[in-house]
Structures are given as structure tokens and as C-alpha cells.
Chains A and B, each alone.
Chain A
């Protein structure tokens, strides 16, 4: 079974600075997908960014980018120019390449933005 580990229960960053959230995963599969979800206080899960394992290029969505290291099974999220609205829980998630299986989530990182 796949596992996802987020080793930082909480991170704090000054507004306008850059922060990196860590995620590692364990799998024997070669075809899979990785995601970062944001959960603000409303608890709505919002997809932030996606990465296909077969793509070498790191995904980027505006201020959000990932550092995908397939051999190391590492998938970190970098948030540039942090904004107060970025404050939330961030979850790393894994999905197998085939079938209808659901997502496997890490336990999350609580991101605090200091004004």
C-alpha cells in the first residue's frame, strides 16, 4: 500500500516571502499522480497543483510550484510571495495510475502567514 508522509506539522512564513512544504511518498508503482490540496478554515478541499509522474517537468500554477524528485520519492510545494489568504492546512495526496481508486493523503501541514 502507498503511504504519504508530511513531516512538518506546522510552518510559519512572513507575508511576501517564500515557503516550501515537504512531502515524501512510498510506492512500487511507476505510473501515478501527485497533488497538493489546500484546506482553509472553511474546510473545503481545494486542488492547488497536480503532477503526473511520467512528466519530468515540475508543475507550476501561478505562485505555486513543485519540486518533483521521482527517484527520491519527494514532492515538495513552494509558495512564492506568500499572502494572508494562503494560510490553511496543506495536504499532499497520491493516486495510482490505473483503476478507480481514491487518493491517499498525508496528515497535512498547517501553514501560518505572519503579517
Chain B
């Protein structure tokens, strides 16, 4: 079965510091991968998605970037964090087989920028 991991689970970073959040998927190959952000009391907003190694599509202009160095690894980064980057970050992968259009989420990373 497929599983998705995210780390760290919680992160507190000062303004201006760099960021690296990692997402890995097991049990599938060449998945579509997604990064979402959930601000306090809000729904999820799509940030980036990737259909393969080195292929990144950005949905929202912002202080963040994404990379996909390996087939099942998706990384969210920032060179200098802003207060507005605080939130809950979720990675997701797109299903295959019987339901190839739905998404399954990782446990998320809670980021607080101070």
C-alpha cells in the first residue's frame, strides 16, 4: 500500500531564515505530487504540483519554491521566510488505479515564523 511521509512535523523559524520541508511517497512510482498551505481557519490553497522529476508548476506567486529531485521526493523551500509564511503545509499524491483523480494527504507540517 501507498504511504506518504512529511517532516518535520512541527517547525518554528525566525523571519529571514531558510526553509526546507520534505515529502516522500512509498509504494507507487511516478506519482503526481502537490504542496498545499492551510492558513489558520482557512481551506487549503494549492502552491505547487509536479508530474515528474524536475517538473514543477507554480500556482501562486510567493516567497516559496519547490523541487523534485527524485521520483518520490518533493521539497518545499524558501531562502528567507516571512511572517506570512506561517501555516500548515500539506503534501499530497494523486491516486492511481481505480480512482486516478483523487488525492491523498500526508500528516502535514506546522510552520510558525516568529
The B73-114 residues at the A interface (CB cut-off 8 A) are: 88, 90, 92, 94, 99, 101-105, 107-108, 110
Q: Does A78 contact B (CB under 8 A)?
A: no
Q: Does A45 contact B (CB under 8 A)?
A: yes
**Interface contact B103-A44, CB-CB below 8 Å:** no
Interface of B is mostly: strand
Q: Which residues of B contact A (CB under 8 A)?
A: 32, 34, 36, 38, 42-46, 49, 51, 57, 59, 88, 90, 92, 94, 99, 101-105, 107-108, 110
Interface stretch, picked from A12-20, A66-74, A79-87, A100-108, is: A100-108
Cα–Cα, bound, A93→B38 (Å): 14
- Residues of the B chain whose Cβ atoms lie less than 8 Å from the Cβ of A43: 38, 88, 107-108, 110
- Residues of the B chain whose Cβ atoms lie less than 8 Å from the Cβ of A37: 105
